[in-house]
């Protein structure tokens, strides 16, 4: 995905009712265009559907290279269909039409590509989690906030869309067991930053109709849940789970905390009050004990994103989309997590 809609673009679509129209017609119209377009067909489509010149051009200097062909396929399908239906004027401003196109493209990259997904948005990031075809964990994050150096593609208005650079895109990938690890990282983060853990006290009511169906964890979650139960029983354990806090986590080591939050080649840290994930990097600025060096953050979960992150992760697991995780496993994680270890520690 090379473009994303900004908050200003979303506001205009909501105010004009166009966002509602796109949402209502998305699934029906998704099936109306061909699955493969040749170059000459794309050029014809671009010309006849009034694709904005700034979007139709190829930018050889763009870090992401050639524009995704699906952008041309989707960009102006909706406005023209809506014009034919008489629902919007054919004099609709090109800037708003571009915003519609990018909004449709963003929806395509979730609803169009993946059957099961959860997405949320805060003032800086649009974040999506979903399983791949094997049920493995996949998170994508896009920074939709225009930066100071970005020039508006259109004159006399706030940027309605943003051209994404490589630095604006982050992702996490992990095998099927990482659904459990990711949920544990979110809970650790809340405990260490003194935030209320979402659904800690009402998860059975919210997710299980008031009754957790099973106390025996599935194969994937068995080891971590057994460990959580052991920690819950032993208040004096010398092996306590936490996330490393940047920039200096030596005190955590001295106090007997054990670092969690590893995912494939990425590691979860706490930085400036946020939960961040950094990729392994031989020359990275973060020197992490025996695990090597890591890059600057590639994914950020801020406090205002945690509730939706927990909800989405749990729902996908409970609905059976998360690989080999059993539906009751995330409930057992919330039930047996050793909250007391954090409540008794003044500084983690």
- What is the tens place of the pLDDT at every residue in 252-276? 988 888 899 988 889 999 999 999 9
Highest mean pLDDT among 95-104, 135-144, 223-232, 334-343: 135-144
Tell me the domain boundaries of the chain. Answer: 3-174, 178-343
Per-residue buried b or exposed e for 223-255, using 16+ beta carbons within 10 Å of the residue's own CB? ebbeebbebbeeeebeebbbbbbbeebeebeee
Instruction: State the pLDDT confidence band at 243, using cuts at 50, 70 and 90.
Output: very high
Label residue 61 by pLDDT band (50, 70, 90).
very low
Under the phi-then-psi rule, with left for phi > 0, alpha for psi from -120 to 50, and beta for the rest, what region is 162?
Answer: beta
Block residue for tokens 């939709």? 144
Q: Quick: pLDDT tens for 69-83.
A: 444 434 444 455 555
* pLDDT band (50, 70, 90) for residue 65: very low
pTM of the entire structure?
Answer: 0.83
Helix, strand, or coil (residue 240): strand
In this structure, what token pair is assigned to residue 95? 């800037």
Structure tokens given for 154: 């259109």
Confidence (pLDDT) at 139: 96
């Amino acid at each position: 995905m090379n473009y994303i809609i900004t908050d200003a673009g979303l506001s205009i679509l909501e105010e004009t009712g166009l966002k509602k129209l796109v949402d209502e017609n998305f699934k029906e119209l998704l099936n109306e265009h061909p699955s493969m377009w040749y170059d000459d067909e794309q050029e014809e489509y671009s010309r006849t559907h009034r694709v904005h010149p700034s979007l139709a051009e190829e930018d050889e200097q763009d870090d992401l290279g050639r524009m995704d062909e699906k952008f041309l396929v989707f960009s102006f399908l909706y406005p023209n269909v809506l014009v034919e239906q008489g629902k919007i004027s054919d004099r609709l401003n090109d800037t708003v039409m571009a915003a519609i196109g990018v909004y449709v493209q963003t929806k395509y990259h979730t609803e169009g590509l993946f059957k099961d997904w959860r997405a949320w948005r805060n003032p800086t990031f649009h974040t999506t989690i979903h399983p791949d075809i094997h049920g493995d964990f996949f998170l994508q994050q896009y920074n939709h906030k225009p930066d100071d150096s970005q020039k508006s593609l259109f004159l006399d208005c706030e940027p309605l869309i943003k051209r994404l650079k490589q630095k604006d895109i982050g992702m996490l990938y992990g095998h099927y067991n990482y659904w459990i690890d990711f949920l544990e990282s979110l809970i650790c983060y809340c405990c260490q930053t003194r935030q209320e853990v979402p659904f800690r006290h009402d998860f059975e009511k919210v997710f299980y109709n008031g009754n957790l169906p099973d106390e025996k964890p599935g194969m994937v979650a068995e080891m971590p849940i057994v460990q959580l139960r052991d920690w819950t029983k032993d208040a004096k354990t010398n092996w306590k789970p936490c996330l490393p806090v940047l920039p200096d986590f030596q005190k955590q080591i001295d106090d007997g905390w054990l670092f969690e939050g590893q995912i494939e080649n990425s590691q979860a840290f706490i930085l400036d009050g946020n939960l961040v994930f950094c990729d392994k990097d031989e020359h990275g600025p973060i020197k992490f004990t025996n695990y090597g060096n890591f890059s600057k953050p590639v994914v950020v979960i801020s406090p205002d994103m945690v509730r939706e992150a927990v909800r989405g992760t749990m729902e996908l697991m409970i609905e059976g989309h998360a690989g080999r995780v059993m539906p009751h496993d995330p409930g057992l994680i919330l039930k047996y997590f050793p909250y007391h270890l954090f409540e008794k520690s003044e500084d983690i």
